[in-house]
Structure 1
Amino acid sequence: MPEHFIGLMSGTSLDGVDGVVATFDSGVRVLAHATAPFDPALRAELLALNKSGEDEIHRGELAANALMRVYAQVVHDLLRQSKLTAGDVRAIGAHGQTVRHRPQAFDGTGYTVQLAQPALLAELTGIDVAADFRTRDVAAGGQGAPLAPFFHRAMFGRASETLGVLNIGGISNLTLLRADGTQLGFDCGPGNALMDSWCLRHQGQPFDRDGAWAAGGTPDQALLKSMLAEPYFASNPPKSTGRDLFHDEWLAGQLKSNVSPQDVQATLAELTAAAIAQDVKRHAADLPKLVVCGGGALNGHLMRRLQALLPGTRVLSSEEEGLPPLQVEAAAFAWLARQCVRREKLPLTSTTGARGARVLGALWPA
């Protein structure tokens, strides 16, 4: 009988939870996909907890409890869709919500924080929960991110073929799978987070559907140049980032001239595309194919800009490679739960910079 695993992901975009139930015995097979949006109050609190504030430990614990209830709702939806019972699922892989990510802070001894209450999730679902995947990597000297590249190889890797896998969530991260079996993975910079925030502020919409608002504007070249001068973009892997760096205040500090809101949106879209293209050219100049997943793959304007900036690379949605864009990250955490349960070490060094292979995650029995 195949082992079933559930993966749950709530990312930097803060739009809600994606979940899948999948098997990995003979390739990757997704049986069901479910989503649940965050209500505005929870989203606002999770966003606020990215900064220091009054009574944040208490507020963080309450937010983690609320988050687990959304996770549990997604689990029950997945069980209903797939006609499985809790007893049919070996484990849940739960990412949690990142509210701090500073892996190289404080003279090289950093930390990463994902709000979660795995014990509560196990209690609510009756299923073992694997969680806290990033802290062991940081303890071993790694960035704690990105972790999806290991799943990307399992899902999209082909013998003797070089390709890239690009996830565009709140932050964009790139995986380069080389024909010789080696891989490189790192965060490029902002994905949707700055665009979404700016769109909400000026259009009252949580995101720019299909990039239509950005497409109607004109990137401001002086603003784009200023933003691309951020030292993170020129730094070498291993590297990772998040809202600790790319936040609304960072953007406000860049806005030194009178640029219309629509042209700012166009510039933010160009920033995302340009930072990704710059990294592809730097680390895989002859990349034949770039598979795009995450919410950014649904942004037609952004996909067109990526293709224009990478004319020698075929840019395509992960849908064409067998897994819809909004299922990839959740499937990655189902796969990481499987690796955790089996105590299988991941070769972290070339991706996160950790000192060696480690088992990631901890297990909370039901």
Structure 2
Amino acid sequence: MQRYYIGIMSGTSADGADLALVAFDETKKGREKTQLIGHVFHPYTDTLHSRVTRLYQPKGDNIDLMASLSVELAHFYHQAINTLLEKYRITREQIIAVGNHGQTIRHRPEKTTINSVPFTLQIGCNQTLSCLSELRVIGDFRTKDVVLGGQGAPLVPAFHQFLFEERDNDTFIVNLGGIANLTYLPSSKEKKVLGFDTGPANALLDAWCYKHLHKRHDEDGHWAASGKVIPELLACLLADPYFTKPAPKSTGREYFTLDWLALQLNPKWIPNDIQATLAQLTATTIANEVDKLSPKSFVYLCGGGINNLHCYKLLKQELKRHTVNDIHSLGLNNQAFEASAFAWLAYAYDKKIYNQIPDVTGASRQTILGIEFTP
């Protein structure tokens, strides 16, 4: 009987959950070792989206909302698992474990004047999900890395290294989620694998679009393409200290907010020009980091942001010295890519494989991330 792992990924765009059904063949290497069997996307309703994004900013009812929403998301993930199993006619007995990322609502990996100790918080109660689904769930992947002094993010570079263990060229995997992050896989074994968040991608673009058009996202980037970049605004945004901070580093939607943007705005600027500037900010901050690490490379784009054709075009313009393609060009499924990473994190947990890279996160040592929950 063929057996599988399920990976669940809810990203900072807060649009829903991607689930990947994955088999791992230990007789093969690299990308051939990972077999994507199936994928479903379970979208958040407008109400659920609103409840999740409310938690990105401090409010008086946060504790009650967080606790109830954590259980609600576990029910949501359970429904999504049922959909996946029914679609591909898979029985529960065939599932080894579920790797659940959860929904990040706070990511504070460094001490601040507000929090005296670093922490990261993902909701979507793993114990509830395990009991409802009657499956083993491996979750809480980020906490241990933070305890060991790391950023707790990004975690997917370990999966990327697993997939691309054999490579002849410098390779980047750039994920355009709510926050953009990259993985640098150098061709030279003497150089370190790196990964970090470069700054905002869909988070600000979507929030600004919703504020003015009442749409969750700027379809194909048409609205941004209708505007013109405001050089003065772009320079102000790029002056934020996060963009010059050395890696390891990570951030979240709670940092790059509309309030952060509002501090730099001039009332005379029109909304679509501001959207055009935010798109350019994403492209510029990614390209700056890629250029620092490699003069010439292969760059593969993934994440929901690759559907923003305007951003995609800007990135290709900014990365002229590099070969830029999307993840589909490698025969990989973009929608299932991050969810597959969390299936692998659960697989690595079971196989006692190090599933984190200290050079990426800044943790004091290598370790195996994850906590097991049983029905």
- 1:137 paired with 2:170, answer no
**Residue matched to 2:103:** 97
- 1:81 paired with 2:90, answer no
- 2:284 partner amino acid: A
**Residue matched to 2:201:** 191
Q: 2:41 and 2:356 mapped to 1: Cα distance?
A: 31
- Alpha-carbon shift at residue 133 of structure 1 (Å): 0.2
- 2:230 partner amino acid: D
Q: Does the CA contact (< 8 Å) of 1:18 and 1:330 recur in 2?
A: yes
- 1:117 paired with 2:125, answer yes
Find the residue that maps to 1:20 and give its secondary structure: strand
- Alpha-carbon shift at residue 3 of structure 1 (Å): 3.8
**Residue matched to 2:21:** 21
**TM-score normalized by structure 2?**
0.94
Consecutive unaligned residues of structure 1, counting only runs of 5 or more, are: none
1:250 alignment partner, one of 253, 256, 260: 260
- 1:261 paired with 2:271, answer yes
- The 1:204/1:157 distance shift into structure 2, 3 A limit, reads farther
Q: 1:31 and 1:97 mapped to 2: Cα distance?
A: 24
- 1:37 paired with 2:43, answer yes
**Residue matched to 1:296:** 305
- 1:321 paired with 2:330, answer yes
Residues 172-198 of structure 1, C-alpha deviation per residue, up to 9 Å, x if partnerless?
A: 000000113431000000010000011
Q: Does the CA contact (< 8 Å) of 2:172 and 2:184 recur in 1?
A: yes
Q: 1:258 and 1:19 mapped to 2: Cα distance?
A: 44
Consecutive unaligned residues of structure 2, counting only runs of 5 or more, are: none
Q: Could you list the runs of 4 or more consecutive aligned residues of structure 1 that deviate by over 4 angstroms after TM superposition?
A: none
**Residue matched to 2:320:** 311
- 1:65 partner amino acid: V
**Residue matched to 1:153:** 161
- The 1:331/1:39 distance shift into structure 2, 3 A limit, reads same
For 1:215-234, list aligned pairs within 5 A.
215-234=225-244
- The 1:347/1:36 distance shift into structure 2, 3 A limit, reads closer
- Alpha-carbon shift at residue 344 of structure 1 (Å): 2.0
- 1:112 partner amino acid: T
- Alpha-carbon shift at residue 357 of structure 1 (Å): 0.6
- 1:352 partner amino acid: T
Using the TM superposition, name which of 51-60 and 333-342 deviates more: 51-60
Residues 60-80 of structure 1, C-alpha deviation per residue, up to 9 Å, x if partnerless?
A: 111011111221111111111
**Residue matched to 1:173:** 181
| Number of positions where the alignment pairs a residue of Structure 1 with one of Structure 2 | 365
- Alpha-carbon shift at residue 83 of structure 1 (Å): 1.5
Residues 285-343 of structure 1, C-alpha deviation per residue, up to 9 Å, x if partnerless?
A: 32x21011100111111111001011011111101112122211111111111111223
